[in-house]
Amino acid sequence: MDYKKYISEKIKLDGVTQEEVYATIALPPNSEMGDYALPCFKFAKILRKSPISIAEELKNAYQTDGVVSEVSAVNGYLNFKVNKSGLAEGVIGRILKEGDRYGSSDTGVGKTICIDYSSVNIAKPFHIGHLSTTVIGGALYKIYKFLGYNVVGINHLGDYGTQFGKLISAYKRWGVREEVEKGGIHAINDLYVRFNNEADEAMQEEARENFRLIENGDKEANALFDWFKSLTLNYVKSIYDKLNITFDSYAGERFYTDKMQPVIDELREKNLLKESEGAQIVDLEPYGMPPCLILRSDGASLYATRDLAAALYRKKTYDFYKCLYVVAYQQNLHFKQIFKVLELMGKDWAKDLVHVAYGMVSLEDGAMSTRKGKVVWLEDVISKCIEKAYAVIDEKNPELENKKQTAETVGLGAVIFSALYNNKIKDIVFSYDKVLSFEGETSVYVQYTCARANSVLLKSGNLTFDYGNYAPNAQESEVVKELAAFPDALLNAAEKYEPSYVARYAVNLAQKYNKFYIDCKILTAEGDAKAFRLALTKATLQTLKNALSVLGIGVPEKM
Ligand code: ARG
């Protein structure tokens, strides 16, 4: 049973919807006060009453029953105590029944969400700076799917621009086919870096000419371009596989080559295009922004032009409910401009475009720069994290079978979780020791809790989970309430585009379970208490697995 729903349905407030009441009910920080609480502060303005008197009036009107046994009003909060065995039975029963679907819902049915994420640049390094967009986008993808949405994952490839002209020049000068084939993206990157270091004006001109050749459909230039593209994609796909990341479309910037002219025509028709120093722009001064550049004075299109074409294409193709762009906050202005231009074009759906911005990741030694050649490849961070995870596991549990596979699950989880645990807009400093700590707020801690729960269940043998009318104690009730909060964590994450809600939820649940594990004996308990504790253990394991799974993180059986 949904206790929040049950409680909210009995609360009537003029001018406040039932949904809003429902959404406002939360778990109080101090469970002595109650199991659920309704903070009345935000209703004060609408009702023109103090939160204290609102809570007081609601308390007087509320009829307690077998489900909600006690209601109190304290400092503007309305607190509820619920029948613990009923709560436990409802939640645990539901989790054991729904299994890996627990937390899923049909809120999104009939709605399509496009997520533009990872969006790598062809022939450029896939570096630590791409971690966040990849795993935040990947987590949102899975969360929305779990909530019933139709999700379209789009990798808006950076495959357009003069750098490909440079690359062709560099390859023709210094490249050896077999070496590039073997070295893949690293070899391509070396060529590119060398070109940037050595090119004089004549070589730059040659590179521009090579780019024009690609544009004009020259066979040889396009064959080289396609080759560079496939080498890059094979490489990034091997990393996506490890991180559990998938895409439904790889339509990148080049895909929009023939879709920009209609946008330019429409802008002109709507009198939005202006000439400025030979270039074509949309003036955004009235909105406090610099102009959005549409065509350079030499007629070339820009990043923004392709993004406008892409937005129109996505609307037409997917008829999205929302289209998210998981891109670093450095591009805040770019997206504000694009969204504004679409709004000025009269696209009422411009309001459904969302820039999901996130902060920067750097390493402890300060490294991350993409200055010529000095790049921290994501691949290297992943390998190193797996290696270190192996060392940690080997030290803790040298007898463990499958150490290699476990280290892989743990190491990958740690890399993913590091970019999902904090509020996404924060800059983060990646530390191997921190992300691999068994004690911190880490995926390792959550995975370890799962292994612990799993071992309890294995040792217990035959499980019946028949615990009669067992009344849970305080620690047990804490776990039960946290278990019941999982669906909300997912809904909140989806609403705020913030997978960190789910990551934090997993750590909270693990902490509460561990407190219970330390305070209450499980295997040596008897009768209903033992059956209940085993059921609680099983429900916790399932919920932690579900939470990690939507983040793209696996759970080893043993650790
Ligand atoms: N490739 C771009 C970059 O690395 C990100 C593209 C984001 N998506 C978009 N539709 N602009 O900066």
**β-sheet bridge partners, residue 151:** 113
Binding site membership of 280 for ligand 1 (Cβ less than 6 Å): no
Instruction: Please state the rounded mean pLDDT for residues 499-504.
Output: 98
Ligand 1 pocket: which of 115, 117, 119 to mutate (most atoms <8 Å of CB)? Answer: 119
Q: Mark 24-33 as b/e (b = at least 16 C-beta within 10 Å).
A: bbebbeebeb
Instruction: Please state the rounded mean pLDDT for residues 438-463.
Output: 93
154-205 pLDDT per residue, tens: 999 999 988 899 999 999 999 999 999 999 999 999 999 999 999 999 999 9
Binding site membership of 256 for ligand 1 (Cβ less than 6 Å): no
46-60 pLDDT per residue, tens: 999 999 999 999 999
Note whether 389 and 482 are same-domain residues: yes
What range does the domain containing 472 cover? 378-421+432-550
In a domain, 310, yes or no: no
Instruction: Please state the rounded mean pLDDT for residues 201-214.
Output: 93
Query: Does the predicted model carry a pTM greater than 0.75?
Result: yes
C-alpha 544 to ligand 1 mean position (Å): 33
509-534 pLDDT per residue, tens: 999 999 999 999 999 999 899 999 99
Note whether 527 and 388 are same-domain residues: yes
Binding site membership of 166 for ligand 1 (Cβ less than 6 Å): no
* CATH number of the domain where residue 54 is located: 3.30.1360.70
Is a pLDDT exceeding 60 seen at residue 371?
no
Instruction: Please state the rounded mean pLDDT for residues 226-255.
Output: 96
Quote the mean pLDDT of the chain: 93
In a domain, 256, yes or no: no
Give the number of the atom of ligand 1 that is nearest the alpha carbon of residue 120.
Answer: 1
In a domain, 191, yes or no: yes
Is a pLDDT exceeding 80 seen at residue 373?
no
Binding site membership of 116 for ligand 1 (Cβ less than 6 Å): yes
Residue nearest to atom 1 of ligand 1 (CA): 158
315-330 pLDDT per residue, tens: 999 999 999 999 999 9
Give the number of the atom of ligand 1 that is nearest the alpha carbon of residue 303.
Answer: 11
Three-state SS sequence of 268-303:
HHCCCEEEECCEEEECCHHHCCCCEEEECCCCCECH
Note whether 544 and 452 are same-domain residues: yes
Ligand 1 pocket: which of 232, 315, 323, 327 to mutate (most atoms <8 Å of CB)? Answer: 327
Q: What confidence category does residue 462 fall into, taking pLDDT thresholds of 50, 70 and 90?
A: low
In a domain, 231, yes or no: yes
Q: How many residues does the chain have?
A: 559
C-alpha 307 to ligand 1 mean position (Å): 9
In a domain, 259, yes or no: no
In a domain, 470, yes or no: yes
In a domain, 167, yes or no: yes
In a domain, 46, yes or no: yes
Binding site membership of 307 for ligand 1 (Cβ less than 6 Å): yes
Instruction: Please state the rounded mean pLDDT for residues 260-288.
Output: 97
Instruction: Please state the rounded mean pLDDT for residues 115-123.
Output: 95
Note whether 214 and 78 are same-domain residues: no
Is a pLDDT exceeding 80 seen at residue 297?
yes
Instruction: Please state the rounded mean pLDDT for residues 245-262.
Output: 96
Is a pLDDT exceeding 90 seen at residue 364?
no
**β-sheet bridge partners, residue 357:** 327
Cα(211)–Cα(215) distance, rounded to whole angstroms?
A: 6
Any idea which of 143-147, 243-247, 282-286, 297-301 has the lowest mean pLDDT?
297-301
C-alpha 314 to ligand 1 mean position (Å): 15
* CATH number of the domain where residue 483 is located: 1.10.730.10
Is a pLDDT exceeding 50 seen at residue 90?
yes
Note whether 38 and 167 are same-domain residues: no
Q: What confidence category does residue 506 fall into, taking pLDDT thresholds of 50, 70 and 90?
A: very high
Note whether 68 and 167 are same-domain residues: no
Instruction: Please state the rounded mean pLDDT for residues 4-30.
Output: 90
Binding site membership of 306 for ligand 1 (Cβ less than 6 Å): no
End residue of a domain, out of 208, 223, 243: 243
DSSP letters along 62-74, please?
PPP-SSEEEEEEE
425-447 pLDDT per residue, tens: 999 889 999 999 999 899 999 99
Q: Give the rounded distance of the alpha carbon of 494 from its chain centre.
A: 9
Is a pLDDT exceeding 60 seen at residue 474?
yes
Give the number of the atom of ligand 1 that is nearest the alpha carbon of residue 331.
Answer: 12
C-alpha 118 to ligand 1 mean position (Å): 8
Note whether 72 and 198 are same-domain residues: no
The pLDDT value given to residue 1: 67
Binding site membership of 156 for ligand 1 (Cβ less than 6 Å): yes
Note whether 77 and 166 are same-domain residues: no
Note whether 71 and 169 are same-domain residues: no
Please tell me the total count of domains within the chain: 3
Is a pLDDT exceeding 50 seen at residue 295?
yes
Binding site membership of 142 for ligand 1 (Cβ less than 6 Å): no
The pLDDT value given to residue 368: 55
